[in-house]
Amino acid sequence: MVVEDQNLESGGSVRVVIKGESHLRNVLWGPVRWIKMLAKELHWSFVFGVVSLYGINQGLGGSLGRVATEYYMKDVQKVQPSESQALTAITKIPWIIKPLWGILTDVLPIYGFHRRPYFVLAGVLGVVSMLFISVLGNLHLYLALLWMTIASAAMAIADVTIDACTAYNSIKHPSLASDMQSLCSLSSSIGALLGFFMSGILVHLVGSKGVFGLLTLPFALASVVGMVFSESHVPGFSYKQVNQKFIDAGRAMWRTMKCSDVWRPSLYMYISLALSLNIHEGLFYWFTDSKDGPLFAQETVGFILSIGSVGSILGATLYQLVLKDHPFRGICLWTQLLFALAGMLDLILVLRLNLKLGLPDYLFIVVDEVVSQMIGRLKWMPLLVLTSKLCPHGIEGTFFALLMSIDNAGFMTSSWLGGVLLHVLKVTRTEFGNLWLAVLIRNVLRVSPLFVLFLVPKGDQNTFKLPGEIMGEDSDSDEEKEEARDLELASLVHSADRR
């Protein structure tokens, strides 16, 4: 600024100052013009739907719900860590049957609309389930679990439906596909950051049941999206066609799954996720309840998770800039090894070695969360890319949902096995003596998927593709099929952290 003032006296820096102000104005107003452009080209209701569902319902609501569920199971239902680990995994079942929701939205219109009624249905189911949990006192554990599962189903239905809308618009407007991907990712990431940051504060102020009550608002917004969403009406639909369409889709998926180039990497992805044991509940109880632990408050827990979301964004950025052109097998090897090493940070924390090194708990766990989330995203991204390339032409959306359901089954198996491990080692609400051993066993098992790494194709991430008879290359151009596969990845990559 001093240099500019001196130049201004000589009359030579007026243009520089104006240029700087113009550049700042472009930076500030660029995103606004970008969103206005998307609203003009695609219709404002689509942009509203993306921001509402990806950003507010899944990003903000999903992160609030995660923290509220953890405190609800611990403080209200008072279950053991192993029990909480196993029971909350059940709520992920609706995500395992995502192909069912995908087929329903594709082949079964309601009152002549394929998307709008499913948005409304998802919103109603979510509002009712959250109200029951928040209002009813002394709700039985299994009834609470039922309503949580219904809420999870509501979010899964809304997710599949907005994914389908994103896919349709990306095919119809291919030049805007990257812009839509950016909007989806930014909405989800910003929503998650805000949700995790607010979660601890809200749990402290209104309790976990109060947070469930607040979650009725994001679900109600899903119904609003259904009411205002712009969609063409399908008159005179013959419901007699539904059975045949289900049969055709099922046959196509079965034919594809029998291909070794499909089932082998799918098996690896399941094993990789299932053997990365999830013992989060044991660590969460130790963070918040153990006298030998950090005894973090609710606000601190929410802030730590929000910082972890930043690590996830860094991982996605690093993958895009550096690792996206590497062969599948090589990147899976190194990310799996790093994933196991990152777990050792939890071991250092549980053994309190960080204090002996002079590192306070708060600082160490923030670093731990950022590193773990970043490496977890690096590990997940090539699997998402591989999944998108295993989808045959004509059933890309449904088959992608099928493969993602296999991955979700891996996540659920991981949670169940982690719950069994905590139970066997007798890690309870008050006893954490063997928690370090659970962490060590988890870290060792994270290396075990490398023994089946031969299931992953050696091909480059950009050139790998299925055989022509599976992809149906006689019916469409390579560009159209590649565009469709990229499109499915774009619509789902934003939600990798919701698990």
How many angstroms separate the CA atoms of 258 and 389, rounded? 16
Would the pLDDT of 86 be above 80? yes
Would the pLDDT of 387 be above 50? yes
Closest to 159 (Cα-Cα) out of 94, 234, 90 = 94
Confidence at 2, pLDDT banded by 50, 70, 90: very low
C-alpha angle 260-262-266 in degrees, rounded to nearest 5: 115
Which position has the higher pLDDT, 36 or 275?
275
| Confidence (pLDDT) at 402 | 79
| Confidence (pLDDT) at 121 | 93
Best mean pLDDT range from 22-31, 389-398, 433-442: 433-442
| Confidence (pLDDT) at 149 | 94
Question: Does the reported pTM lie above 0.75?
Answer: no
Handedness of CA 106, 107, 111, 112 (dihedral sign): positive
| Confidence (pLDDT) at 223 | 93
Segment 233-259 mean pLDDT: 74
Structure tokens at 447: 């290396």
pLDDT digit string, tens, across residues 372-383: 888 988 887 777
Closest to 165 (Cα-Cα) out of 184, 186, 192, 151 = 184
Residue 428: DSSP 8-state: -
Closest to 272 (Cα-Cα) out of 419, 376, 397 = 376
**Span 30-464 CATH architecture:** Up-down Bundle (1.20)
Closest to 421 (Cα-Cα) out of 400, 395, 445 = 445
How many angstroms separate the CA atoms of 486 and 309, rounded? 24
